[in-house]
């Protein structure tokens, strides 16, 4: 969880086909924090998106919990992502017209057996599973120091608050795996520390973390570091 083998992916560029992945192989065990380092444009994000079921490779295998991800129908693949994977991106990808609370709760929308409810601070309906999604969201908001910002939209937040909101969203459904793409790239030192400490805690609690970064300080928080160069993983960094 996850396990990728022989991944290959090419894209068409201005001067022809460009290889982003050339037979990449990687596995991350429960309780493990793995960082993949490399310069911008080397294929790190492509690897992460393929491992998360968001970008089909040209060839190779991607398994999560033993399931072949790209053998699943699109709806089943979306459900697997919602139930088992949390994503954290450098650009946050928050919904600009939703409040902090509803951005966190947005992760519950893809879960099955939802119940439509109207939440405060938003005019949108949020589909939540039977149970305590809102209580979980409020718990995470407090954990990340967002309890006074629940009614604010992303434009009213600091950069650090946006990333903490994104991290809370990633954790809402209690995933088994977090995939993080340069999560500290836009953050100051203190907010970067909070994000990395949270990822480390998630791994110590039995989750799996795959971080891709060009930031040496972020990579040093991982228990295992790999180097990505010229579309290939080259072993320990």
**Per-residue pLDDT at 123 exceeds 50:** no
| Sheet bearing 232-236, strands edge to edge | 85-89, 177-181, 208-213, 33-37, 224-229, 232-236
Whole-angstrom Cα distance, residue 48 to residue 26?
11
What tokens does 127 get? 């589909």
236 — pLDDT class (breaks 50, 70, 90): low
Tell me, rounded to whole angstroms, the distance of Cα 29 from its chain centroid. Answer: 16
Task: Give pTM, 2 decimals.
Answer: 0.87
Q: Are 211 and 183 in contact (CB under 8 A)?
A: yes
Span 3-236: which CATH code?
Answer: 3.40.50.300
Q: Are 181 and 45 in contact (CB under 8 A)?
A: yes
**Per-residue pLDDT at 125 exceeds 50:** no
> Of all residues in the chain, what percent carry a pLDDT higher than 90?
62
Higher-confidence residue: 112 or 27?
27
Number of other residues whose CB lies within 10 A of the CB of residue 199: 26
Q: Are strands 67-68 and 232-236 parallel, antiparallel or unpaired?
A: unpaired
Comparing C-alpha atoms, which of 88, 100, 107 is closest to residue 183? 88
In degrees and rounded to multiples of 5, residue 109 shows phi and psi of: -65, -30
Tell me, rounded to whole angstroms, the distance of Cα 76 from its chain centroid. Answer: 18
Q: Which residues of 87-107 are buried (b: 16+ CB within 10 A; e: fewer)?
A: bbbbebebeeebbbbbbbbbb
Mean pLDDT value across the chain: 86
Distances (CA, A) of 133 to 86, 129, 208: 15, 7, 22
Helix (H) or strand (E) holding 219: helix 216-219
> Of all residues in the chain, what percent carry a pLDDT higher than 70?
89
| Burial class of residue 54 (count of CB atoms within 10 Å of its CB; 0-12, 13-18, 19+) | middle
pLDDT digits (tens, 9 = 90+) for 145-165: 999 999 999 999 999 999 999
């Amino acid at each position: 969880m996850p396990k990728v083998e022989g991944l290959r992916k090419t894209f068409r560029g201005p001067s022809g086909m460009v290889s982003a992945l050339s037979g990449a192989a990687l596995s991350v065990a429960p309780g493990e924090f793995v960082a993949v380092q490399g310069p911008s444009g080397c294929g790190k994000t492509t690897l992460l998106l393929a491992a998360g079921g968001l970008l089909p490779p040209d060839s190779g295998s991607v398994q999560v919990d033993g399931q072949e991800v790209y053998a699943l129908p699109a709806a089943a693949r979306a459900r697997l992502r919602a139930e088992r994977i949390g994503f954290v991106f450098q650009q946050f990808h928050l919904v600009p017209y939703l409040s902090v609370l509803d951005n966190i709760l947005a992760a519950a929308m893809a879960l099955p057996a939802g119940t439509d409810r109207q939440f405060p601070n938003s005019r949108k309906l949020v589909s939540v599973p039977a149970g305590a999604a809102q209580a979980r969201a409020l718990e995470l908001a407090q954990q990340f120091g967002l309890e006074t910002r629940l009614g604010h939209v992303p434009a009213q937040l600091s950069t650090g608050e946006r990333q903490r909101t994104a991290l809370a969203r990633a954790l809402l459904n209690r995933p088994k795996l977090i995939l993080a793409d340069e999560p500290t790239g836009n953050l100051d030192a203190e907010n970067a520390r909070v994000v990395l400490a949270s990822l480390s805690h998630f791994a110590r609690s039995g989750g799996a973390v795959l971080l891709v970064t060009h930031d040496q300080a972020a990579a040093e928080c991982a228990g295992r570091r790999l180097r990505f160069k010229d579309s290939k993983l080259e072993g320990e960094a």
